[in-house]
Amino acid sequence: MIKKLHQMGVRSSHMYTAGVASIALSLGTWVMSRSVEQAGLDRADRWGIFIGEWAPTFFALGIALRMEETHRELDEQETGMFEAEGMRTRSHAGV
């Protein structure tokens, strides 16, 4: 799933941003529910907790995507390193 998200263009920074936004949205919905609705503090708390629970998921996905990005960067560096060595070997072999 993480590889597919990465292929679709989702990056770790997107997930970290979504996690921070979730925390802000949690606080915002708690304040709005508490002040606008007449349902009371219990309902405001439930809204805040419900949306606040999304943040750890976004942060976990951000960490997993960061690991995928790092893994791909290392693969590209190793591939580039081996290609460069191969080119040097071929150029020296032709001399």
* Burial class of residue 62 (count of CB atoms within 10 Å of its CB; 0-12, 13-18, 19+): buried
Number of domains composing the chain: 1
Residue 91 pLDDT more than 60? no
What does the alpha-carbon distance between residue 38 and residue 85 come to, in Å, rounded to a whole number? 71
For residue range 58-71, list pLDDT tens digits in order: 999 999 999 999 88
Confidence tier at 86 by pLDDT (50, 70, 90)? low
- How far apart (Å, rounded) are the C-alpha atoms in residues 38 and 50? 19
State which residues form the domain around 53: 2-94
Q: Which tops the pLDDT comparison, 72 or 68?
A: 68
For the segment 9-52, what is each residue's pLDDT rounded down to a tens digit? 999 999 999 999 999 999 988 888 777 767 677 777 887 888 88
